[in-house]
Every structure is written in structure tokens, then in C-alpha cells.
Amino acid sequence: MAASKENPKTKNDVKASSKPKAAGKSTEKTVRKSAEKSAEKTTAKTVRKSEGKTAGKAVHKSEELIPAAPDREKKEKSSSSLSSYDNFYNRELSWLKFDARCLSEARDTKIVPLFERLKFLSITQSNLDEFFMVRVASLKNQVHVGYKGVDIAGMTAQMQLDALSTEIHEFVKEQYQTYNRALVPALMKAGLEVVRKHEALTEKQSAFLDRYFEDEIYPVLTPMALDSSRPFPLVRNRTLNIGALISAKSDGDKLAKKGKKHKTVQEFATVQVPSVLPRIVELPDAEDGHKVVILLEEVIKRYIGVLFQHFDVECACTYRIMRNADIEFDEDEAEDLLLEIQKQLKKRQRGEVIRLEIEESVDKRLLKVLKQELEIGESDIYYIPGPLDLTFCMKMYGLPGFDEFKEPRYTPAPVPAFAGAKSVFDAIRERDILVHHPYMSFDPVVDFVRQAAKDPDVLAIKQTLYRVSGNSPIIAALAQAAESGKQVMVLVELKARFDEEHNIAWAKMLEKAGCHVIYGLLGLKVHSKITMVIRREEDGIRRYVHLGTGNYNDSTAKLYTDLGLFTCDDAIGLDATAVFNMLSGYSEPDRWYKLMVAPIWLKNDFLRLIRRESMNAAAGKPAFIRAKMNSLCDPVIIEALYEASQAGVEIDLLVRGICCLKAGKEGVSDHIRVRSIVGNFLEHSRIFHFHNDGSDEVFMGSADWMPRNLDKRVEIVFPVEQEDLKAEVIRILTTEFEDNVKAHVLMPDGSYEKIDKRGKTLVNSQEIFMKEAWERVPKPKKVTEERLFTPAEPAESADDDEE
Amino acid sequence: MAVTTFAAIDIGSYYVAIEVFELSRKGGLKSLNRIRQNLETGRDTYALHKITMARLNELTRILNDFKQIMKEYGVSDYRACAKSAIREADNRYLVVDHIYRATGIRVDVLSNSEQRFLGYKSIASRGAEFQTFIEKGTAIVDVGGGSIQVSLFDKDALVATQNILLGSLKIRERLAFLEHETIHYDKLVDELIRKDLINFKRMYLKNRKIENIILVGDYFTNLIFQNRNDLNKTASRETFMKWYEHVVNCPLREVADELGIPSDLSTVLIPIAVLYRQLIETLEAETIWLPGIQLTDGIAYDYGERNKIIRSSHDFEKDILQAARNISRRYASNKAHNEALIASADAIFDVVKKSSHLTPRDKLLLRVACYLHDCGKYISLVNVAECSYNIIMSTEIIGLSERERRIIANVVRYNTQELGYYRQMGANSELGTEDYMLVAQLVAIMRMANCLDQSYLQKIEELRVIKKDSELILSVAANGDFTLERGVFRENVDFFEEIFNLKPVLKMKSRR
């Protein structure tokens, strides 16, 4: 791994006392605070707040001002070997390995159908974009303010940036090798030709594009030039742009001459590739059953001269920038969270440029202008040997036809437990119900809220929302409930990254409908997924609760694997009530009956469960832990797992994304095995299974084993207690551990390898779950023919009924 | 199954709480939701003697939020109770009125004894556990922000109860100006409260052995030996002392963090810890029981009992009578006379109650008045009525409201003093018309009963009381010369007749 283990010295501790007393301007304070917050995310222990608050004025100069994370340093010195930096992977590099696993799916010619590979390639791009905007941005913030703390693996922010730059450059190279060498030729073979250079068009195609440009594209283009009277235009984050060097024409054009004394002077001009138009333009003149497409930017480049009619275009190339999108502000000082977030979102558009992607063939002069104006260093420039922004591959996937190159579209199966029930409440009252998405339909979750909205016996509905779909039926049902006079309380997390604007709009809409809307909590993100319906029934008040591992988003529920539990268990109802009380700003409860709740309690609860297994193992009893999550990087949990491993606990982990734990390291984690499933659906559920000396305990929830989930978010982890459901969750977990098609195994050297399938029965867990979900749907009863004399009906009408 | 959804609201010295309950004959009392919002109303009262507008506005905001919660659960009835922070505020009536106008919520300002009785009821709701505890010498210590109440039980009966003005918040406010002058704040608190507890011990404990302490009160009480999964807990004295050492020796902020207490309330921790320690040491208790209940439990339990939804396994009236007996003993009353008086009063009451709409609760008040009717003799033989009145008004009897205490005190006072017409009593009367009528009825009964043992010699062997037309016939079989009694009886006939429209007639039965 590229991560160097150079240990930054702790002389910062000495310097800490010499920091200036007075706080700087409030903006500096905010920058500083946000940098520290970013640092907290990556370091094992946080910098004490009191130290942060006395930040000096010359923040950007004083590298020594911020001490390295002291607790971590102390720990390192005193340390048992378990907390040593050597026992952890850097989280950013580990994340990159996850994207590499996605890329490996795009390269898999044996199992993954061609168009699915396109999808994976697109995913690697959007993943990487987000990674830059948040994680790389955060590291850059730390470097800017001179933060010298080290992360879980002992790396400073600068060390991480250097390592990432090297790795990402290599990664991008692989992305484009995949696109250029594997996918484009394969697509061509499959009947989809991508015209890579506009010069290669046929006459008919050229004629088509002439019209298309004139009618559709030209009206929405806004070319902008840079000269002494006009500042460098705002280049929006993640947009595709075409930069050009232009010079006034020498043919004596008056208009051009008027503004320019020196005809040979080149000016920079730029035009945004409009996002309102489809990126893929289908061309005529294709052979039968084939399609020819060209990318929109190629079309614009072809007609670039039209945009600058009085100038000569000397060179033009596509470029794209990534800005720092890490929204950080001092929540303590924010009077109105909603307004503050709106303000920050505007600022995001002008954040620091942290990455420039540009065509490999860029003209040096053009590059120089961009480098200068965007203030970007060479290591942050990515020369792209192909079309920029590979997310267009997803659009390509969506082109009609080519079905033989795609996985068959899966329709989620109905949930058997709800079949035949008069209402969702009747079904839940019978017994707890487990739902496994996307194998099972998300409809019961929507129906839960919908029916509650209409049910006259329902008194109140409470729900937390983190990310919802564009036209969410859940939001509509909540609004309807409020309008019909029910008490509706909704916590809309405004700080859900990249969904901020979306959520602000929902929050306002719900408020207008009469819901009591809470915009999240200061200093914490509410990530829990919980809905509670309070219903008056004959024998008293009953609380129906849905708890999930995934968002209340009917769109992503078709793509993400998640689990949910419907219950009216009284103790869970009480705990759910307490959660909503806390979210409403009331004090925390005196006790929790069944739920484990972050930030205050969850980590300790997990540690208690892990340590119980250690004690059982130490006592010679069988002990094991099996857990599935998206990411694992909490140092305290990892150390507890190492201790458990040393005590003899067998630990199997399914970690889809970041994993800072080292698996199978001798003397440290000999009994720990880590796998990662990257399949057609995004593995998203969190399941925790503790053997507990034979009395298995199974939990599910919204939290990963990450510091941010355990310390900085409101998360809920809930037990699955009903025996049949517990067995079902254990079976789901077992099947996933048996997956040998989509699983990657974390090796002791930090690499991930696919399982050798030779001689083994192929187990693709996602396929198994899809099949099983439909097998469990009760078959419609056979209609026995009744020997009755009934009047004959016209055949058409019977057919209509069938439809 | 008939189910009632009820909300209990507790306006305390440093928090406001609501608890929503479900009550049913089958399921008893079931808590649905419990919410606490920190608000230091006590800080205003104990420092400024009034609730400030800012605090009041915050209080009404919280209560309006609570109304939403009541709607969420379809609450059909509620009771909101305020304690010492409002009770002791000079502007209490304004506060209660403001709350009503701003929220529509009517707040009952509980007297200390009412408040403690509710707390006591909530512990008793624990049934067998409570009964087992109080078989041995047990003290219920109810700690609030304004005061603490210590009630002593022995052999299943309440033997003494005393309010001591040493609430946690009050101590903090009293010592606030000295807090920064010493690093031994706990010692300061110790000195302040020691003398009151020593006095309590001297007066009530004597040779009584108190083995158990039941700690109830607010949520601070429940934080001791913090274990969120076990609110109903029992601990030894040693365990408590370890906790105490931890609290007084660790930085306050650290302890507050551990216990999950907001930092602005952390300063109450030391007064509370010292108070508990002093109590445990003074009472020499070995076991501490924290049943984890709060006032809201008591409010709901009381509501359920009054509305005949739940039935208590503990006889609370017995406690009230026992407390009255103990007070009468303390003031050297004649036990035999009291018992004779009560027997006669009961007999008369039972006959007149129907036509006069007297309730069983009125009978209890009459009995308590009988026990205490001459306690003032202990102070002055000349001015018995006034002295008895004053003793009763300044002695707490757990289970009786302030109004009820006032009724009893007036019954006792007018047992020997002339009771004028309501109009004659004028504006000085502390009784409303309804209470005046009740007092008059009980006085008439008591006077009649009292004259039947005027000589304090318990001459009556048998008494039968019947109503015949417009006469109340008292047939007495006496074992001695009944001349004195007969004479005094005649003096009281008119008053009784005027009150009940029944002419008392005394008939002597011949002895067999």
C-alpha cells in the first residue's frame, strides 16, 4: 500500500500551548472548525474542542497551531500492539479499493453482461466524483489549516493526498482502458457504435447534426470569453465544459478589431455543455439493428466556430472541474438551520477547485490558462484519454434494445405476510414482519404510511426522513395525514449530503400541509430509519413501528438491498416514542428497553456484545460474530474485534465499502475474515449476529461501524427477536457469506480477491434472494369450474377483466 | 375492555414532565410516553420569590407542546400539578391564571402534603414490594427542589412525617453566594443541613430503628447508581457511599456527563448527594430502594383510584388515621375519650349522611377531627380551640389536602367556640360557603358525640342512633350517672337541629 508509516512527531503537543489566545474572525473560526471536524472524521481520536476554539488569527500560515490528535498519540506510545497504526488501513485508500471492486465488475467479461458493465463503469465515476467533493476536499481543508494530526493508519492529511493522487491517477487510467479497449469494441460488436471524433461522421450524419445543432443545441448555449473587462466565468461544479483559445479574425472584421488592438492575442473562452440536453445523440445512417451515437460535447466541438463567429478558434477541448462540496458551518451559531444550509449550498458552487479533468490532447496554452485561473496544481489534474465524465454510460445502458446484453429486469415480489390482510395493521398485529428489499416490494412500507393517513383510528404518525425519492409517495401520504387532522411529526434531515436542496423543498412542503417538521438536530445527523404510527384500538393505544436499514426512498429501494421490520412490540413502541421525544428536543429517556441508539449509547452496546463473545471464547465456549455493513472504520470497535479474535472468537464480516480492519493478520486478527459483495444491487443492509453462547442475538439497523455513525449521528439498531424472523435473517447472512460469484475476499496484504470458483457450486446471493422472493409468493388458488347455469358473456369482456 | 388514556403533568422545580398513561381495570396502569423538559422554575422562586415572565412564557410553550402530545395519544383526561416552585412563588395565582389563558391547561398547585401523598401513592402502587419493605422500619424520603419529606413507617403503618425545607435547588440557591469561596462546597452543604436533620432525628426517631430508605422524588433520584436498564433498584449503604465519594470527588462536569445531566443542572448534584448521605447516616439505614417512580405515576394512580379504575392494595385512609392518632399522642390527648368520641360520631354520621349528602371522605375528616379535637390542651387549657387550630394547621398529615386540613382545624376550633353564621363571619372567614356548610355539619356531629363522653369516663355501654320523622333518637345504655352528659346534650340540641333539621332526642335505656 502506498501509505507511508512515517510517524509525525508529537512536538505539536508543545506548540499547542503557544497558540494565540484570541480567536480570529468568525469566518476563520468556521474554516478552522470545519477543518477540525473533517479531521475528526479521519483521525482515531478527536482534537479537544477547547483547543479548537482558541484558534489563532493566522490560520492558513501557522502549520504548528493545531496539535496532532493527542489521545491517539498517547495511545500509540503506551500502546498495546493492537492500536498500532500498522493494524489499520487508511480509510480513503480503502474506499478507493471499493471503487476498484466496482471497476472490476465493469471488466468482468465472464459473468457480467456487457451493458451491466457499462453501468458499473458509470458507478465508478459517480463514486469518484463524490469522493473528491467530500473526502479529498476534507483532506485539503486539513492541509490548508495546517492540521498535523494523523489518521487511524498514522497518515497525515498531506500523506493521504499524495497517496490518493498516485492511486487515483492509476485508477483513472484503468477506467479508460476499460472503456476504450474493452467496452467500446464490445459495444461495437453488439451493435452500438460510439463515434469518438466528429470528423468520422458520414455525410448523412453530418447533415443530421447540422440541423440538430441549429435547432436544439445552439439556442441553449452560452459561450463566455475572458478578457481584461470580464472576470473568469463561474464554472459550475461537475459540469462538462468546452474551453477554447480564440483570436480575433485577421480578415478585417470590424467588430473584432474594435475591441482588440493586437489581433494575434489569444483569449480564453468557455461554453458549458448543456445538461438539459441528452448527452448521447443518436445518429441516423446505422445498419439494421445497430445504433450509432455521438456524445453531445463532440457535437458542440464540431460547431464551436459558430459560437465565436468573429474569431478563429485555435484549439478547443473538454474539461470538467470538481469543487470542494464539504458543507461545514458552525451549527452552534446558526440561528436558522434551514437558512444556513441554503446559504452554504450557494457557496458550494464557488468552492475551491480540487480536481480538473481535461482531455489528454489539451493544448498547452489552454491548459496554462485553466491552471492559472482555477488555481490548481499539477497533481490535481487528470488527463483523460477519452470522453470525460463516464456517467453517460448509465444513459447508454438505458438505450432501448440490447436486452440480451442486460440482466433481466427484476420486479420485486409481494410480501407474503401482507397477502390477504385487511390492512397492514391487522397483519402486523398478528406477528412481526420482515421485509427484504429489493427482492420484496417496498409497497408495504408506503402502504404503512398511506393507510395510516386514511385510518380514522390513527392518532399520530412520526417518521425520520434522510433521503427520499423525487416524487415520494411517502411524503404525499404524510401530507395527506396532516391535512386530515392527524398529528404528523417528520424529521427531515437537511444535512443529508447532496440531498440538501431536495430535502429543504420537502420540508417546506410538509410544513405547509400542517406537519410538525423538525429540520434535524444541531451537531448531529439523523440517519435512523424509523416510522411510528400511534393507533387507538379497542384494547388501548397500540404503536406500530417500522424500522429499517435503508432510506424511505421508493426509488433506491429497487436498487439497494435493505431489511426492514414491522412490529407492534410494546417495548419497541416505548423506545420508538423515546427516540421521537429526543428528536423533538425533549430529554433522553431514563432507559431503553430494546433499541440501541447512537450517538450516546450504541457504541458501548456494540462493545458490550463483542466483549461478551470474547469472554465466552475465553471461557472455552463457542463464540462467533457475523456482521454485515457498508463500512468499518471505527478504531475502538476494530480494536475490540482484534481482542475478540485473540480470545478465539470467530469473526466473519461482510463489509461492502471501506474497511480499515486488517483481516487475517497473524497475532492480531487471525480469526477475522472480511468479504465484500459488489453485485447488481447495492449491498446496503446492516446486520449483526452474536452467538451469545447459543442464544443467538440478531440486530439490524442504520449504523455502520464508523465513528460518524456511532458518535455523530442518530442511529437505531434494533433486535430481531421473533424466532422465525431471526432464523430468516441468519439464513440471509449465511447465504451472503456463501456467495462465491460476487464476493471479494480481503487478503492479509490488503488486496481483494475474487473467490476461486473451480469445482464449487456457484452461489450468487442476490440471484438466490430474487428467486426465493417469488417462490414464496402464495400462488393464486385455482378457480374450480362451477357447474352453474350462468348467462353467456361475450368473450371480449372476460378478457378485459383479466387485464 | 374500557381503556382510559390519561396524562399527568408535573411542573417541578427544574423540569416539567408529562407522562401519558393508559388505565384499565384489567391492565391497571400502563405508561405510554414519558417526557421531561428541563426548566428551572425553582431558580426564580427561590432567588426572586416569583416566577419571571421569561420563565413563564417558556413554561407555557412547553405546556402547549405537551398538548400536542396529548392529542397524539388521544388523551381523554389530564391533571397538571405544580409543586413548591409555583406554590412558594408570590405570583402563584397570576402564574396559574396565565397558564390557563395561554394553554387552556388548569394547573393544581399541590400543597406539600398532597404532593407527598401522590408520591407515596405511587410507591404503594408497587404493591407487594412496598408492603414487604414497610414491615420493617422504613423511611420514605421524597426529595424535591424546594424541600424534602421524610415519612417513617413501622410495622406497616405510617408513624411520622415531616417536611424539611432542604430541597436540592433551595440549598443551591442559599449557598450560591458562597460557592466560589470554598473548594469544599460539599462541606458547606453538609453544615447547612446537619442541624435540621439532627432535630428531625431527636423528635421522631428516638429508639426507632430505620433499616430501609425508599428514595423517591425527581429524575435525579433515579440517576443514582446509573443503570439505565434497571430503574427499580436496591442498593446497600456501602454502594451508596461509593457513589457519593465519586460524585463529590470527581469534577462536576465529568459526573454530569456520566449521568447525562445537562451542565446547567449539574450544580444541583452536590446538594443532592450530600442530602442523601446525611439522611442515610442520620437514619442509620442499611438498604436503599429506588423504585424509579415519579410524581406522574402518583397522579395517574390517584386518578385511577378516584375513578374506580384501579384498586389499591394498600389502605391509605388507615395511614391518615394512624398519623392523626400519632399526633394526638404527641399532644397527650386522652386515647380512650378519643375512641369513644369517634364511636359516637360514627354512629351519628352514618344516620345523617344520606339526607345531608355527606361522603365517606367527610367521615374520614370527622374522625381525624375527633382525634385532634383537644390537642391544643397541650399548649393551653384556657385557649384550647385556637391552640388546637394552630397545631393542626401547622402539622402535615400526608394524604390530606390543605383544604381538608383547614376543614378539620375549623371543626376542632368550633367544637368549643361559637360558630357564627357565614354572613357574620364576614370577609375574615377562610372558608368558602361549601366548606362552611361542611364544617358546620361536622361540628354539629362532633359536639353531639363529644357531649356523650363529657366526663371522659366512657360511660356509654351501648349507643343506638335512629332517625324517626324529624327526630334523631340516640338510645344510650350507660354504666354511670349520665346527668352531666344529658345537661351538655341539651345545650347542643338547637345547633344540631338548625344544621340538620333534625331534633336530637336522648333516650336512656335501662340497664339490664
A567 and A432 Cβ atoms separated by less than 8 Å: yes
d(CA A301, CA A461) in angstroms, rounded, equals 54
B368 and B318 Cβ atoms separated by less than 8 Å: no
In this model, does residue A450 exceed pLDDT 60? yes
- The per-residue pLDDT for A145 is 85
The upper half-sphere exposure of residue B318, i.e. CA atoms within 13 Å in the direction of its Cβ, equals: 9
Q: Which residues of A touch B30 (CB under 8 A)?
A: 540
Phi, psi of A395 (to 5 degrees): -65, -35
In this model, does residue A482 exceed pLDDT 70? yes
Q: Which residues of A touch B37 (CB under 8 A)?
A: 585-587
What are the tens digits of pLDDT across the range A486-535?
A: 999 999 888 767 777 777 888 888 888 899 998 878 788 889 999 999 99
| Residue A691: active-site member | no
Smallest CA–CA distance from B37 into chain A, residue: A586
Q: Which residues of A touch B65 (CB under 8 A)?
A: 584
A45: nearest Cα among A128, A150, A137: A150
User: Between chains, do A587 and B5 touch, taking CB under 8 Å as contact?
Assistant: no
Average pLDDT (A688-714) is 94
User: Between chains, do A581 and B292 touch, taking CB under 8 Å as contact?
Assistant: no
Residue B120 lies in a domain: no
Higher pLDDT, B137 or B219: B137
Burial class for B84, CB neighbours closer than 10 Å (0-12, 13-18, 19+): buried
Q: Which residues of chain B have a Cβ shorter than 8 Å from any chain A Cβ?
A: 1, 3, 5, 15, 22, 24, 27, 30-38, 65, 68, 71-74, 219, 222, 228-231, 260, 292
A578 and A562 Cβ atoms separated by less than 8 Å: no
Q: Which residues of B touch A460 (CB under 8 A)?
A: 71-73
Co-location of B387 and B470 in the same domain: yes
- Per-range mean pLDDT, top range of A30-34, A192-196, B170-174: A192-196
Co-location of B426 and B331 in the same domain: yes
Average pLDDT (A458-463) is 95
d(CA B55, CA B40) in angstroms, rounded, equals 8
d(CA A173, CA A764) in angstroms, rounded, equals 30
Higher pLDDT, A688 or A228: A688
Q: Where are the beta strands (DSSP E) in A217-352?
A: 224-226, 240-248, 266-272, 280-283, 291-295, 311-323
Number of inter-chain CB pairs under 8 A, A vs B: 64
Least confident of A131-145, A661-675, A757-771, B146-160: B146-160
- The per-residue pLDDT for B382 is 83
Co-location of B14 and B138 in the same domain: no
d(CA A515, CA A462) in angstroms, rounded, equals 10
User: Between chains, do A540 and B3 touch, taking CB under 8 Å as contact?
Assistant: yes
How close B129 gets to chain A, by Cα (Å)?
A: 21
- The per-residue pLDDT for A68 is 41
- Where among B82, B111, B140 does a domain terminate? B111
d(CA B12, CA B15) in angstroms, rounded, equals 5
What is the band of B220 on the pLDDT scale with cuts at 50, 70, 90? low
Higher pLDDT, B135 or A124: A124
Average pLDDT (A342-371) is 85
Return the number of other C-beta atoms located less than 10 Å from residue A702's C-beta.
Answer: 27
Chain mean pLDDT for chain A: 83
In this model, does residue A150 exceed pLDDT 80? yes
DSSP A390: T
B204: CATH: 3.30.420.150
Higher pLDDT, B428 or B508: B508
Co-location of B107 and B133 in the same domain: no
In this model, does residue B357 exceed pLDDT 70? yes
Phi, psi of A692 (to 5 degrees): 50, 50
Average pLDDT (B316-330) is 87
Higher pLDDT, A782 or B372: B372
How close A580 gets to chain B, by Cα (Å)?
A: 10
Task: Mutation target for B interface from A457, A487, A590, A608: give the one with most B CBs within 10 A.
Answer: A590
Q: Which residues of B touch A536 (CB under 8 A)?
A: 5, 74
What are the tens digits of pLDDT across the range B252-309?
A: 777 777 776 666 667 777 888 888 888 888 888 888 888 877 889 889 999 998 898 9
Co-location of B103 and B145 in the same domain: no
- The per-residue pLDDT for A267 is 85
Co-location of B363 and B498 in the same domain: yes
User: Between chains, do A590 and B229 touch, taking CB under 8 Å as contact?
Assistant: no
A594 and A571 Cβ atoms separated by less than 8 Å: yes
Least confident of A250-259, A313-322, A542-551, A686-695: A250-259
Bridge partners of residue A626, in order along the sequence:
A652, A689
Instruction: Encode B22-91 in three state secondary structure.
Output: EEECCCEEEEEEEEEEECCHHHHHHHHCCCCHHHHHHHHHHHHHHHHHHHHCCCCEEEEEECHHHHCCCC
Return the number of other C-beta atoms located less than 10 Å from residue A263's C-beta.
Answer: 14
How close A450 gets to chain B, by Cα (Å)?
A: 18
Average pLDDT (A59-88) is 53
- Where among B292, B324, B348 does a domain terminate? B292
What are the tens digits of pLDDT across the range B74-109?
A: 999 999 999 888 999 999 999 999 999 999 999 999
User: Between chains, do A590 and B292 touch, taking CB under 8 Å as contact?
Assistant: yes
B64: CATH: 3.30.420.40
- The per-residue pLDDT for A40 is 45
Burial class for A408, CB neighbours closer than 10 Å (0-12, 13-18, 19+): exposed
What are the tens digits of pLDDT across the range A264-274?
A: 667 889 999 99
d(CA A483, CA A511) in angstroms, rounded, equals 11
Residue B39 lies in a domain: yes
End-to-end CA distance of chain B: 58
Phi, psi of A529 (to 5 degrees): -120, 100
In this model, does residue B349 exceed pLDDT 60? yes
What are the tens digits of pLDDT across the range B121-142?
A: 778 777 677 777 777 888 888 8
Co-location of B504 and B428 in the same domain: yes
User: Between chains, do B73 and A592 touch, taking CB under 8 Å as contact?
Assistant: no
Average pLDDT (A429-450) is 95
Phi, psi of A297 (to 5 degrees): -65, -30
- Per-range mean pLDDT, top range of A588-592, B22-26, B456-460: B22-26
d(CA A611, CA A601) in angstroms, rounded, equals 15
Average pLDDT (A681-703) is 95
Three-state DSSP at A135 gives helix
What is the band of A797 on the pLDDT scale with cuts at 50, 70, 90? very low
- The per-residue pLDDT for A76 is 44
User: Between chains, do B32 and A577 touch, taking CB under 8 Å as contact?
Assistant: yes
Co-location of B147 and B286 in the same domain: yes
Q: Where are the beta strands (DSSP E) in B168-231?
A: 212-217
- The per-residue pLDDT for B179 is 66
Return the number of other C-beta atoms located less than 10 Å from residue B491's C-beta.
Answer: 10
pTM: 0.80
Place of cell 413501622: B154
How close A555 gets to chain B, by Cα (Å)?
A: 30
Residue B459 lies in a domain: yes
- The per-residue pLDDT for A53 is 33
Q: Which residues of B touch A539 (CB under 8 A)?
A: 1, 3
DSSP-derived secondary structure for A166-213? HHHHHHHHHHHHIIIIIIHHHHHHHTEEEE-SGGG--HHHHHHHHHHI
- Per-range mean pLDDT, top range of A677-691, B300-314, B449-463: A677-691
Residue B116 lies in a domain: no
What is the band of A801 on the pLDDT scale with cuts at 50, 70, 90? very low
H/E run at residue A39:
helix A26-42
In this model, does residue A657 exceed pLDDT 70? yes
Average pLDDT (A249-262) is 53
Catalytic residue among A198, A436, A437, A527: A527
Higher pLDDT, B123 or A550: A550
How close A579 gets to chain B, by Cα (Å)?
A: 11
Q: Give residue B152's Cα distance to chain centre.
A: 13
In this model, does residue A259 exceed pLDDT 70? no
- The per-residue pLDDT for A22 is 36
Residue B307 lies in a domain: no
Average pLDDT (A68-86) is 57
A201 and A294 Cβ atoms separated by less than 8 Å: yes
- The per-residue pLDDT for A452 is 95
Smallest CA–CA distance from B38 into chain A, residue: A587
- Where among B46, B81, B111 does a domain terminate? B111
Average pLDDT (A444-463) is 95
In this model, does residue A545 exceed pLDDT 90? yes
A32 and A1 Cβ atoms separated by less than 8 Å: no
- In percent, the amount of chain A with pLDDT more than 70 equals 82
d(CA B16, CA B29) in angstroms, rounded, equals 21
- Per-range mean pLDDT, top range of A165-174, B40-49, B138-147: A165-174
- The per-residue pLDDT for A499 is 72
What is the band of A327 on the pLDDT scale with cuts at 50, 70, 90? low
What is the band of A247 on the pLDDT scale with cuts at 50, 70, 90? confident
Co-location of B53 and B98 in the same domain: yes
d(CA A514, CA A491) in angstroms, rounded, equals 14
Q: Which residues of A touch B36 (CB under 8 A)?
A: 586-587
- The per-residue pLDDT for A411 is 94
Nearest to A459 among B24, B37, B72 (CB): B72
- In percent, the amount of chain B with pLDDT more than 90 equals 33
d(CA B272, CA B144) in angstroms, rounded, equals 9
What is the band of A8 on the pLDDT scale with cuts at 50, 70, 90? very low
Q: Which residues of A touch B5 (CB under 8 A)?
A: 536, 540-541
Task: Mutation target for A interface from B22, B26, B33, B39: give the one with most A CBs within 10 A.
Answer: B33
Residue B303 lies in a domain: no
- The per-residue pLDDT for A753 is 94
DSSP-derived secondary structure for A230-265? BPPPPPPTT-EEEEEEEEE-SS--HHHHHH-S-TT-
Task: Mutation target for A interface from B4, B19, B32: give the one with most A CBs within 10 A.
Answer: B32
Smallest CA–CA distance from B224 into chain A, residue: A590
A732: nearest Cα among A688, A696, A765: A765
Nearest to A591 among B37, B65, B228 (CB): B228
d(CA B328, CA B366) in angstroms, rounded, equals 14
- What residues make up the domain containing B392? 316-509
d(CA A97, CA A659) in angstroms, rounded, equals 9
d(CA A449, CA A729) in angstroms, rounded, equals 25
- In percent, the amount of chain B with pLDDT more than 70 equals 93
d(CA B322, CA A586) in angstroms, rounded, equals 42
User: Between chains, do B30 and A589 touch, taking CB under 8 Å as contact?
Assistant: no
Instruction: Encode A592-648 in three state secondary structure.
Output: CCCCEEECCCHHHHHHHHHHHHHHHHHCCCCCEEEEEECCECCHHHHHHHHHHHHHC
Residue B331 lies in a domain: yes
Co-location of B287 and B348 in the same domain: no
Task: Mutation target for B interface from A48, A518, A586: give the one with most B CBs within 10 A.
Answer: A586
Q: How many residues does chain A have?
A: 803
What are the tens digits of pLDDT across the range A18-39?
A: 333 333 344 444 444 444 444 4
Average pLDDT (A553-569) is 93
User: Between chains, do B34 and A589 touch, taking CB under 8 Å as contact?
Assistant: yes
Instruction: Encode A514-582 in three state secondary structure.
Output: CCEEECCECCEEECCCEEEEEEEECCEEEEEEEEECCCCCCCHHHCEEEEEEEECCHHHHHHHHHHHHH
How close B289 gets to chain A, by Cα (Å)?
A: 17
Co-location of B99 and B134 in the same domain: no
Co-location of B270 and B397 in the same domain: no
d(CA B353, CA B3) in angstroms, rounded, equals 33
- The per-residue pLDDT for B192 is 81
In this model, does residue A96 exceed pLDDT 90? yes
- Per-range mean pLDDT, top range of A613-627, B222-236, B389-403: A613-627
d(CA B234, CA B286) in angstroms, rounded, equals 11
- The per-residue pLDDT for B381 is 84
What is the band of B164 on the pLDDT scale with cuts at 50, 70, 90? confident
Residue B502 lies in a domain: yes
A35 and A147 Cβ atoms separated by less than 8 Å: yes
Phi, psi of B80 (to 5 degrees): -110, 125
Nearest to B71 among A487, A588, A592 (CB): A487
In this model, does residue A796 exceed pLDDT 70? no
State how many domains chain B has.
Answer: 3
Phi, psi of A473 (to 5 degrees): -70, -25
Three-state DSSP at B157 gives strand
Nearest to A534 among B35, B65, B73 (CB): B73
Average pLDDT (A542-556) is 93
How close A543 gets to chain B, by Cα (Å)?
A: 9
Least confident of A150-164, A261-275, B358-372: A261-275
A746 and A676 Cβ atoms separated by less than 8 Å: yes
Average pLDDT (A88-116) is 94
How close B379 gets to chain A, by Cα (Å)?
A: 49
User: Between chains, do A586 and B229 touch, taking CB under 8 Å as contact?
Assistant: no
What is the band of A432 on the pLDDT scale with cuts at 50, 70, 90? very high
B351: nearest Cα among B208, B471, B436, B201: B471
